[in-house]
């Protein structure tokens, strides 16, 4: 029973940390107006978080694997809380850039700590749903936050939101340190687990499947990060929407993303317990990127906000379907190195986020529309389908024997 509580507590953490990402997007006009920042400068602010998040993935994974998820997440979330508070005190472009990058570096260990805690506490056949629940927390919090923040920002200074987030993060940190333990009292039965790649961490990171994994996660983040950065400003400007109307539209793809997490997590575990075990990671990934490709191409034809949201929701649903199998894939091939291998994958993904945050305004300015961005994202997603076909993490012979038994 406690393993499900562990997943729920991690779900709450993800919700807390992801409100921050939406808060910056929702506060864009207020921050830019007060600090006199252009769209290009705000693009750098958005991407500074992504860059900090990306470059600290491998060190963050090393920390989690070295000290365990209890101490690791205590440090990570404690630092994140401090940086969230400092965001509320930023006084210039430079100070905001530095704080956002530092916050991204602190937050880098959140999902890595969650992945290692899930590896320690749950058997292989339950990790798909657990990762799905974890990632759905980020999308649900983002969706709920959009209208809530629009309401708050109409009444209070934007700085107050970040001060509140830091305080909430501090409370979570104290609870985690006092309550959580790195492993359950009774060891897990891992007889039917996928076998980690032999040869240690270096061989895993240099393997072909890992290279495919990093590329497909780059493509997924490139597609999804639009929702966390430019989607709200894009809808307002492109379709001349008011703040509340744009926020209502923008929350729909994020809610859809949460359903994708649950669906993919369920599918991963369902296939794992069937005769299609060897496809339990690959099939959800391939299906997801197929939907993401179709949605992004269709976006180039959207001529109304409702239609744009429908197509974007399809693309986001597909991209989000790939997350749960991606993180389970890392646990399959990495074993005790799950934190570092997951961090390597997540680093590639957040380089995709960094490039996405800057590519969208650049391509829109150069070409006069967002279609170029949408088509590039579609192309990356199409290549990712091929990547997933080659990402084999479960030994077919052992899987056949396990299912037969």
176-220, pLDDT tens digit by residue? 999 999 888 776 654 344 445 555 667 777 778 889 999 999 999
pLDDT 10s digits, 306-353: 899 999 999 999 999 999 899 899 888 887 788 888 888 988 887 888
Q: Which residue has the higher pLDDT, 341 or 146?
A: 341
Q: Which residue's structure tokens are 């979570």?
A: 172
Q: What is the pLDDT at residue 291?
A: 96
Res. 170: pLDDT tops 70? yes
CA dihedral 114, 274, 385, 250 (to 10 degrees): -50
Is residue 391 classed exposed, middle or buried when 0-12, 13-18 and 19+ CB atoms within 10 A define those classes? buried
31 contact partners, CB below 8 Å, separation of at least 6: 24, 37, 42, 45, 96, 158
pLDDT at 293: 97
Q: What is the mean pLDDT of residues 239-264?
A: 82
**Residue 401 pLDDT class (50, 70, 90 cuts):** very low
pLDDT in tens, 286-305: 999 999 999 999 999 888 88
Compute CA distances 168 → 82, 147, 171, whole Å: 11, 20, 5
Cα(363)–Cα(390) distance, integer angstroms: 32
For residues 127 and 118, the answer to whether their CB atoms sit within 8 Å is: yes
Alpha helical stretches, state H, 322-370: 323-334, 338-367
Identify the structural domains of the chain with CATH numbers, from first to last.
Answer: 2-182+199-404 (1.20.1250.20)
Average pLDDT, rounded, for the chain: 84
pLDDT the model gives residue 395: 63
Q: Please report how the helices 208-228 and 338-367 are oriented relative to each other, as an axis angle in degrees rounded to 10.
A: 50
Could you report the per-residue pLDDT of 12-50, keeping only the tens digit for each?
998 888 777 777 766 767 777 778 878 778 878 877 887
At 139 the three-state DSSP class reads: helix
- pLDDT recorded at residue 396: 54
pLDDT value at 1 more than 80: no
3-state secondary structure of 123: coil
The three-state secondary structure class of 240 is coil
Give the per-residue pLDDT at 228.
66
Residue 233 host element (H or E): helix 231-239
Q: Which residue has the higher pLDDT, 127 or 156?
A: 127
| 203 CB-near residues (< 8 Å, 6+ apart) | 197
């Amino acid at each position: 029973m406690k393993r499900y509580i562990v997943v729920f507590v991690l779900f709450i953490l993800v919700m807390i940390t992801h409100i921050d990402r939406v808060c910056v997007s929702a506060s864009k006009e207020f921050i830019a107006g007060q600090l006199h920042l252009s769209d290009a400068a705000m693009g750098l602010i958005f991407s500074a978080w992504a860059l900090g998040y990306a470059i600290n993935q491998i060190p963050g994974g090393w920390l989690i694997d070295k000290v365990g998820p209890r101490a690791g997440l205590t440090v990570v979330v404690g630092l994140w809380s401090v940086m969230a508070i400092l965001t509320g005190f930023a006084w210039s472009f430079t100070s905001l850039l530095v704080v956002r990058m530092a916050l991204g570096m602190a937050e880098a260990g959140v999902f890595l700590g969650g992945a290692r805690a899930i590896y320690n506490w749950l058997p292989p056949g339950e990790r798909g749903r657990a990762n799905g629940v974890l990632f759905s927390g980020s999308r649900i919090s983002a969706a709920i936050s959009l209208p809530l923040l629009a309401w708050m920002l109409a009444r209070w200074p934007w700085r107050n939101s970040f001060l509140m987030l830091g305080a909430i993060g501090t409370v979570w940190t104290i609870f985690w340190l006092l309550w959580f333990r790195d492993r359950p009292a009774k060891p897990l039965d891992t007889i039917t687990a996928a076998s980690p790649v032999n040869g240690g961490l270096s061989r895993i990171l240099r393997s072909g499947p890992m290279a495919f994994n990093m590329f497909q996660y780059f493509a997924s983040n490139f597609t999804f990060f639009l929702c966390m950065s430019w989607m709200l400003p894009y809808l307002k400007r492109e379709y001349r929407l008011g703040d509340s109307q744009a926020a209502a539209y923008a929350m729909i793809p994020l809610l859809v993303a949460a359903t994708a997490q649950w669906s993919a997590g369920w599918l991963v575990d369902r296939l794992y317990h069937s005769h299609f075990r060897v496809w339990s990671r690959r099939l959800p990934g391939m299906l997801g990127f197929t939907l993401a490709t179709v949605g992004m191409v269709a976006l180039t034809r959207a001529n109304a906000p409702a239609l744009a949201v429908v197509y974007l929701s399809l693309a986001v649903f597909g991209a989000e379907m790939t997350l749960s199998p991606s993180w389970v894939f890392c646990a399959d091939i990495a074993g005790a190195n799950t934190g570092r291998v997951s961090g390597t994958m997540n680093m590639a993904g957040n380089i995709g986020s960094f490039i996405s945050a800057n590519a969208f305004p650049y391509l829109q300015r150069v070409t006069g529309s967002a279609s170029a961005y949408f088509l590039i994202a579609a192309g990356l997603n199409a290549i990712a389908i091929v990547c997933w076909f080659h990402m084999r993490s479960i030994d077919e012979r052992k899987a056949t024997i396990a299912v037969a038994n």
